[in-house]
Structure 1
Amino acid sequence: MAAPEGRRGLMARVAVWRGGTEVTLEAVALPEPGPGETLVEIDLATVCGSDHHTVSGRRPGACPSVLGHEGVGRIVGTGQRVVWGVTVSCGTCDRCLRGLTAKCRSLRKLGHEAYQVAWPLSGTYATHVLLPAGTAVVPVPDTLTDAVAAPAGCATATVMAALERAGSLRGRRVLVVGAGMLGLTAIAAAADAAAAEVVVSDVVPARLELASEFGATSTLSAGQGIGPVDVAMDFSGAAPAIEAALGALDVGGSLVLVGSVSPGPAISVDPESIVRGWRSVSGVHNYERRHLEQAVAFLADSDRPWAELVEEPVGLDRVGDVLTRELGRPRSSVRPRED
């Protein structure tokens, strides 16, 4: 992407993460969008757990960078309210042509790229974001509040991809491991999909209480025995929890791994058990445009208390605070504009 020209001298403000706990506020010339690009003024950004992991060193990430990839805003020039995908794909490589744009050969990701002149408005902890050609952009109905809509671009869409991978949940016994934002979304989606049971496992008692509000039929603390299930989805990334979920699969059962996005210890797998039990293990990372569209539709139709999962927003000057402190709720949020 070539360095964009300024938009009549107007400026955007960005929060640049520079390593450790250091975040600086900087001004960037507001660009004129090029062919296929979309300039969005951000109304609200929510803070994904992966950003906490990046700042704490648990997850590798470009530095310096403008973090943040969940957000909702309005297209500059039209006012259309939208959410957008986390990935930027070329659309022409072999993977894109196979329908795996989330694994494009030249993939770039919102909120994950190095802070540079060519694309400084690359994350959501900013007043504006420039969405390159190849980014999914999906309209949002005004019935969805900012706090409900913003997580669609990561948490909700990723869960939609995981559910697609799992197949129909109607009448099936479902295990959800990890009741953070993604897990709670999966719980609600599984309940809405007419699962026979939605069993939830987590190490945090407060999360298990939330799980019941979002559709869990039963909850288990870590280490408690898990009965046979037909589908298990792991959002924890914890090796012992994954092994327990795999061991809980009934004949014909499937395990979908979502939370293992950082290096971790290997798990023990008995191939004979997989073969004789007709069991399957698959993974999901990122998602496709259809999953983002499904995410918006799911949230628009849902009556769960999604807004209660998001803390009151802070300004850009406090991005460093929300990236380094413990969360009171599954999502912190940032309101970039100074109204």
Structure 2
Amino acid sequence: MPGTISDELLAVRYARWDGVDRPFTLVTTTTPRSPGEGEVLVRIDLATVCGSDLHTVNGNRSSPVPAVLGHEQVGTVLAVGPGAPSCVDGTPVVPGLRVVWSVTASCGTCPRCRRGHPQKCRELRKYGHEPLDERAPLTGGFATHCVLLPGTAVVAVPEGLPDAVAAPASCATATVAAVIAAAGPLEGREVLVTGAGMLGLTAVAMAALGGARVTAVDPSPARRARAGQFGAARVRGVSEPPGRVDIALELSGRTDAVRACLSALDIGGTAVLAGSVSPADTVPVDPEWLVRGLRTVTGVHNYRPADLRTAVAFLAARHAAHPFADLVEGAYSLGDLGAAVRAAQGADAPRQAVLPSLG
């Protein structure tokens, strides 16, 4: 880990993304040891390369350039600024506490926040998605440290939950918790999950735990087999009809998967779409089919603080029952972030691990 250069400043490093088809640049700089009002200084112990990072690096979604990417990570609190909030469950945020934090920081006072949508705050800041400010660059997971902004939800990580399992809670697991909440009661329901990557496998496990009979759909035989390990009662290829379902959870972002989810909905069914986070072909919806069938179609993007708490509790309770640890592989340094991203493009495991403390 970078050494101390003065009593007031700490040496830190981050991987700067300079745009599509350009290599990452490892930058060394300093940050104040004492965070500002409402801020928390965290050492990042492990980060994972998320699918959204790949969308950005590949140019499939607009993103500020330059930037510090990464928004799935777990870390240890080093210092707490005056007025910093407690964890979501009331646990004090203190030095030495192992934590994950939300992908967003919200103001808490705008109309969207007051209506219960802090994840769509009008003043939203988003880790791993902000333009680089060299005066305050620690806003992403691909760095040795992160400065948590006021309005960031923080959740303590229980002892015994491995870093590689905890890190995706900040994006994948919490997003799925939001999806499950939007779906409504699961007990005895037929549930379709399209996409068996990190989000899809997590959704399979959460839905099965909620008492649903889950059908997982994915074009990859290996991913379909893995879905069975996470609780899917049935697995299907994309050309196999899934049958009628009460709830459809779309987590792949594929246009054909969105169509499959809608067409599978039974009377009174609900489709929750969360995978469509980059531009794709539009999908027509027949309003008469929607109205006469009492169907509901809703979207989920980002999540609320309670969803992050649910995510960590779920992983703490279930990571031994399902092979979550097998979903993360690799051990890349910040200097090898480009290699980690390349590996993530076609790896069997949905996530690649980045260890900022390495050389």
Q: Unpaired segments of 5 or more residues in structure 1?
A: 1-5
The alpha carbon displacement at 1:9 in A equals: 3.2
Aligned-residue identity in percent: 52
Given that 2:55 and 2:278 are in contact with CA atoms closer than 8 Å, whether structure 1 keeps it comes out as: no
The alpha carbon displacement at 1:249 in A equals: 0.5
What is the aligned partner in structure 1 of residue 104 from structure 2?
Answer: 87
| Residue 249 (structure 1) aligned with residue 265 (structure 2) | yes
RMSD, aligned α-carbons: 1.2
Letter in 2 for 1:215: G
| Residue 134 (structure 1) aligned with residue 151 (structure 2) | yes
Secondary structure class of the residue paired with 2:258? helix
What is the aligned counterpart of 1:226 among 214, 229, 242? 242
What is the aligned partner in structure 2 of residue 24 from structure 1?
Answer: 25
Secondary structure class of the residue paired with 2:8? strand
What is the aligned partner in structure 2 of residue 319 from structure 1?
Answer: 337
What is the aligned partner in structure 1 of residue 89 from structure 2?
Answer: none
What is the aligned counterpart of 1:189 among 206, 225, 246? 206
Given that 1:10 and 1:29 are in contact with CA atoms closer than 8 Å, whether structure 2 keeps it comes out as: yes
Using structure 2 for the length normalisation, give the TM-score. 0.91
Secondary structure class of the residue paired with 2:246? strand
Aligned 1:74-153 pairs, distance under 5 A: 74-77=76-79, 78-153=95-170
The alpha carbon displacement at 1:7 in A equals: 6.2
Change (3 A) 1:7 1:28: farther
What is the aligned partner in structure 2 of residue 309 from structure 1?
Answer: 327
- Work out the number of aligned pairs and report it: 333
> 2:109 & 2:135 partners in 1: Cα distance?
22
Secondary structure class of the residue paired with 2:138? coil
Q: Unpaired segments of 5 or more residues in structure 2?
A: 1-5, 80-94
| Residue 239 (structure 1) aligned with residue 268 (structure 2) | no
> 1:7 & 1:72 partners in 2: Cα distance?
26
> 1:271 & 1:75 partners in 2: Cα distance?
50
> 1:40 & 1:111 partners in 2: Cα distance?
15
What is the aligned partner in structure 2 of residue 172 from structure 1?
Answer: 189
> 2:161 & 2:98 partners in 1: Cα distance?
10
> 2:123 & 2:259 partners in 1: Cα distance?
33
Q: Which whole-Å deviations, capped at 9, do the CAs of 1:52-99 have from their partners, x for residues lacking one?
A: 111011111111111000000100041100000000111110001111
What is the aligned partner in structure 2 of residue 329 from structure 1?
Answer: 349
Using structure 1 for the length normalisation, give the TM-score. 0.96
Q: Which runs of 4+ in 1 moved over 3 A?
A: none
